């Protein structure tokens, strides 16, 4: 299978790309890091040009599996004026890009009667996160889009699901941690399992969702959050 993973140069995306079986097509902005893969596409998915570049790459390489992992987190307290630049950046990267790439991947998947799409969302899109309203909005939008798209493609052998990680041991997780007024120990104490999720846990779930055995899973929003979404 031809598997395309956005944001594959580090963190969750890197773990996913390194642990899936198939021909991996890695996507990111840092070409030096992407050179670790045989197949890669350098583009900035926060821009229309970058989206178009990757859309053309998807069509050219007949992608069977699309993993929308690339994303950004920027603190955005609603009590202060939100930067229009930050608003556009997160909307483009976290929501517009996945939707556009899905639209480019679906025709081939539909024609061959098989396709798998996995979106990496966030528990913040399920529960909401104070001081991160834009981020929460983009991830919530991704969950809604997943459900709608699943209905459109269900009869063609194409599935689409969203994984919503809680706190994850990655650079992005640490960056969002630094944006909070709480220490890591304080945050961990509020997680039922008292730990952050490891990237490999997300990779393993992706591996199952793209398998033929998971054909009955579609339109689902799956919380992989060490119990964070259950309550405290």
Helix (H) or strand (E) holding 145: helix 133-153
- What span, in angstroms and rounded, lies between the C-alpha atoms of 145 and 126? 13
- What span, in angstroms and rounded, lies between the C-alpha atoms of 8 and 15? 8
Tell me the average pLDDT across 139-159.
Answer: 98
- What span, in angstroms and rounded, lies between the C-alpha atoms of 150 and 220? 9
**In the chain, what are the domain boundaries?**
2-224
pLDDT at 179 over 90: no
Helix (H) or strand (E) holding 6: strand 2-6
Would you state the pLDDT for residue 56?
Answer: 98
How is domain 2-224 classified at the architecture level of CATH?
Answer: 3-Layer(aba) Sandwich (3.40)
Would you state the pLDDT for residue 181?
Answer: 65
**72, 98 Cβ separation under 8 angstroms:** no
- What span, in angstroms and rounded, lies between the C-alpha atoms of 163 and 122? 7
Residue 37 is among the residues annotated as catalytic for this protein: no
Tell me the average pLDDT across 97-126.
Answer: 97
pLDDT at 198 over 70: yes
Catalytic residue among 57, 135, 156, 208: 135
Structure tokens at 37: 């893969």
Mean pLDDT for the chain overall: 93
- What span, in angstroms and rounded, lies between the C-alpha atoms of 194 and 83? 34
**207, 149 Cβ separation under 8 angstroms:** no
Rounded to a whole number, what is the distance in angstroms from the first to the last CA of the chain? 41
Question: Is the C-alpha dihedral spanning 117, 122, 124, 127 positive or negative?
Answer: positive
Q: Which residue has the higher pLDDT, 231 or 150?
A: 150
Q: What is the tens place of the pLDDT at every residue in 25-80?
A: 999 999 999 999 999 999 999 999 999 999 999 999 999 999 999 999 988 888 89
Helix (H) or strand (E) holding 159: strand 158-165
Chain centroid to CA 53: 19
Percent of the chain with pLDDT over 90: 79
Would you state the pLDDT for residue 191?
Answer: 84
């Amino acid at each position: 299978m031809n598997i395309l993973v956005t944001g594959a140069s580090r963190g969750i995306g890197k773990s996913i790309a390194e642990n899936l079986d198939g021909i991996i097509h890695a996507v990111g902005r840092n070409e030096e890091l992407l050179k670790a893969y045989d197949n890669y596409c350098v583009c900035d998915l926060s821009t229309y040009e970058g989206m178009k570049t990757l859309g053309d790459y998807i069509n050219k390489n007949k992608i069977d599996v699309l993993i929308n992992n690339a994303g950004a987190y920027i603190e955005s307290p609603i009590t202060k004026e939100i930067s229009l630049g930050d608003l556009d950046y997160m909307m483009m990267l976290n929501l517009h890009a996945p939707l556009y790439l899905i639209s480019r991947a679906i025709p081939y998947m539909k024609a061959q009667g098989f396709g798998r799409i996995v979106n990496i969302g966030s528990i913040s899109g399920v529960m909401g996160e104070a001081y991160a309203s834009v981020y929460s909005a983009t991830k919530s939008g991704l969950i809604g889009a997943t459900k709608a798209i699943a209905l459109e493609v269900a009869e063609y052998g194409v599935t689409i699901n969203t994984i919503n990680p809680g706190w994850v041991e990655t650079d992005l997780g640490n960056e969002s941690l630094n944006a909070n007024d709480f220490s890591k120990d304080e945050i961990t104490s509020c997680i039922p399992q008292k730990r952050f999720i490891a990237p490999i846990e997300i990779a393993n779930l992706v591996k199952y969702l793209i398998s033929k055995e998971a054909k009955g899973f579609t339109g689902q929003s799956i919380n992989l959050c060490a119990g964070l979404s259950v309550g405290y």
